[in-house]
Amino acid sequence: MKKNTVYIVAALFTGLLLGYFFFKGEPETHAHEESTTAGMEEVWTCSMHPQIRQPEPGSCPICGMDLILADNGGSGLSEDQFRMTENAMQLANVQTEVVGTAASDGQQMLLSGTIQENEETNTVQVAFFSGRIERLQVNFTGETVRKGTLLGRIYSPELVAAQQELLTASALKESQPQLYDAVKKKLKLWKLTESQIKKIEESGAVMENFPVYATVGGIVEEKLVSEGDYVKQGQPMFKIANLSSVWAVFDAYENQIASLKVGQLIEIRSQAIPNRSFRSKISFIDPMLNSSTRTVEVRTTLQNKDGIFKPGMFVEGQVSVDTGTKSETITIPSSAVLWTGERSVVYLKPNPQEPVFEMQEVQLGSKIGDRYEVIEGLSNGDEIVTNGTFTIDAAAQLKGKKSMMNKSGGKVMTGHEGHGAVISPVSNGSDNDNGFQREWDKLITVYLKLTEALVASDASRALASANTFKKEIANMDIGLIKNTADHDQWMGLIKELDAYVSEIAEKEDLKQQRKNFKPFSATLIEGVEKFGSENTLYSVYCPMADNNTGGYWLSLKDEVINPYFGSAMLNCGIVKKKHN
């Protein structure tokens, strides 16, 4: 018994001794781990709005989505590089392209323009004698007239007297042929024909209401007189447009002018005439620059015997340009470039396998079509962001990296430091012209019309609204933005909006329009957060949009009317945010 007791005591002593050696450092270890954990402060952010940064989990104050833990790991990253989550990239529709080189000769330049009347063939029908218009045979614009068409009848006391002179001179023409010839010449100056003069002589009667015939054929563009009007000799009565040939007039920007010359071939297309193209030559380049649009007018003449070209119709011209060199040239899409003053920046993706980015300044050359020549800053094989650039730039700013607004890097001070959410700095608009807010609200109104078209599943209406949005962007006066920070952010925002809406404007398929509506809406919501709105708006979210990846849109109503599915799933979604 005593022997067993000794064994038990020895075993307990041995166990205590081993436990002491194994676990004597545990309190210190725990203390160290707690200290380390306390030093690593968690930051929670929104995958859709990376400018939101909070010390604890919750919901995004902008869109209502659950916040996610921000990636604090910067392992392996250089000072100017930063990482984005795959979810954030997907929601922002970030797309990249590997830079390649192409022969600089024989590239295609795209020009936008409209069909206009050929001023060289337009005419004005005038009154050849004074009098009162007793009757008009042509009573509305758009009517087609041919040469010799009866336009109306005029009572002219002068012409009545001249006819009396003709009858008198005709009776005396054997004895006074010179008088007879002088009277006939006078009538011919009033555009009376030989047959009309002969008819007066043969009838022996004076015509009181004399007919007026068209001297040219064409379309009545403007009616300048009415029945009962008194007209003087030489007074315009009708403007007549001859549309047998028309002008295609394009706008060329300053950096495109050097690549264009008279006689250059241009291939023309129009959405109104699908599956057809028309070749012509540049006939005129305006020597004067339009100081408002910073463009020059480039013109070509098109034959229009069939009347397929209508004045006002939008057309696109494609010109093959020769830059004068056979060297290899790097070109990038215009959607990849952010501008701020004289600086042009793009975002590089150094590792194709990692969502890591960094800003790169570039020097651009001429613009050819929708691409820019890169003179300096990029190399063949570099991967750059071509879609979602503004979102990437916003993330760079918030992480204190080099960005469009912050050339040297460093944290952007928001005025919310030490408080919960940290939101990107934006002026409240007080420094900006009220005209800018009106212009911005116009864009929102057009966006809402586009949303209504998608709700109605009307692809043609959506196409028209997208084109209207593009025109409103082009007509905006960015000089109305007085605040420098707002100006820089606006330039990036409007560039993305233009790129996204262009994708919608180029698609006649409703499914493709809705796919591009997602990033378009996300960018516009960012704009509303930054620049506000005259009306109260609501951010609405559908989790099933875009193959169940989810999509947002803006609405004037606090209810769900789904543009991604229309009547098929009209009320699918949830109102996430109210924008006052």
d(C-alpha 185, C-alpha 179), whole Å: 10
pLDDT at position 163 over 70: yes
d(C-alpha 102, C-alpha 258), whole Å: 20
d(C-alpha 55, C-alpha 107), whole Å: 52
Which amino acid appears at position 302 of this protein? L
Which amino acid appears at position 282 of this protein? I
Element (H, E) at 455: helix 434-455
Q: What is the mean pLDDT of residues 148-176?
A: 82
Q: Tell me what pLDDT residue 415 has.
A: 36
Element (H, E) at 4: helix 2-23
Query: Which residues have a Cβ under 8 Å from the Cβ of 287 and sit 6 or more positions away?
Result: 296
Distance of CA 122 to the CA centre of its chain: 33
Q: Tell me what pLDDT residue 568 has.
A: 84
- Write out pLDDT tens, residues 281-306: 999 999 998 887 778 999 999 999 88
Nearest CA to 333 among 308, 354, 362, 307?
362
- Write out pLDDT tens, residues 11-23: 444 444 434 443 4
Domain regions of the chain by residue span = 1-40, 108-119+243-322, 123-241, 434-579
108-119+243-322 is a CATH 2.60.120.10 domain:
no
Q: What is the mean pLDDT of residues 496-515?
A: 88
Compute CA distances 17 → 13, 20, 21, 252, whole Å: 6, 5, 7, 89
Q: How confident is the model at residue 485 (pLDDT cuts 50, 70, 90)?
A: low
DSSP 21-39: HHHTTHHHHHHHHHHHHHH
420: left (phi over 0), alpha (psi -120 to 50) or beta: alpha
Q: Tell me what pLDDT residue 401 has.
A: 83
Lowest-confidence pick of 30-34, 207-211, 234-238, 499-503: 30-34
d(C-alpha 389, C-alpha 372), whole Å: 16
The 3-class secondary structure across 375-407, one letter per residue, is EECCCCCCEEEEECHHHHHHHHHHCCCCCCCCC
Position with higher pLDDT, 89 vs 247? 247
Lowest-confidence pick of 64-73, 215-224, 440-449, 506-515: 64-73
d(C-alpha 155, C-alpha 153), whole Å: 7
Q: How confident is the model at residue 451 (pLDDT cuts 50, 70, 90)?
A: very high
Q: How confident is the model at residue 308 (pLDDT cuts 50, 70, 90)?
A: very high
Q: Tell me what pLDDT residue 247 has.
A: 95
DSSP 344-381: EEEEE-S-TTS-EEEEEEEEEEEEETTEEEEEES--TT
- Write out pLDDT tens, residues 218-262: 889 899 999 989 999 889 999 999 999 999 999 888 878 888 999
Q: What is the mean pLDDT of residues 132-137?
A: 90
Q: Tell me what pLDDT residue 262 has.
A: 94
Radius of gyration of the chain (CA): 38
Choose the CATH number for 123-241 among 3.30.565.10, 1.10.10.10, 3.40.1350.10, 2.40.50.100: 2.40.50.100
Strand partners, 45: 53, 68
Q: How confident is the model at residue 32 (pLDDT cuts 50, 70, 90)?
A: very low
Position with higher pLDDT, 481 vs 521? 521
Buried b (16+ CB within 10 A) or exposed e, 309-340: bebebebbbebebebeeeeebbbbbbbbbbeb
Q: Tell me what pLDDT residue 49 has.
A: 62
Instruction: Determine what percent of the chain is predicted with pLDDT higher than 90.
Output: 21
- Write out pLDDT tens, residues 367-390: 666 678 788 889 888 999 998 888
Q: How confident is the model at residue 430 (pLDDT cuts 50, 70, 90)?
A: very low
| Cβ burial, residue 154 (10 Å; 0-12/13-18/19+) | buried
d(C-alpha 158, C-alpha 224), whole Å: 22
3-state secondary structure of 143: coil
pLDDT at position 317 over 80: yes
Lowest-confidence pick of 210-219, 489-498, 560-569: 489-498
Nearest CA to 211 among 159, 164, 270?
159
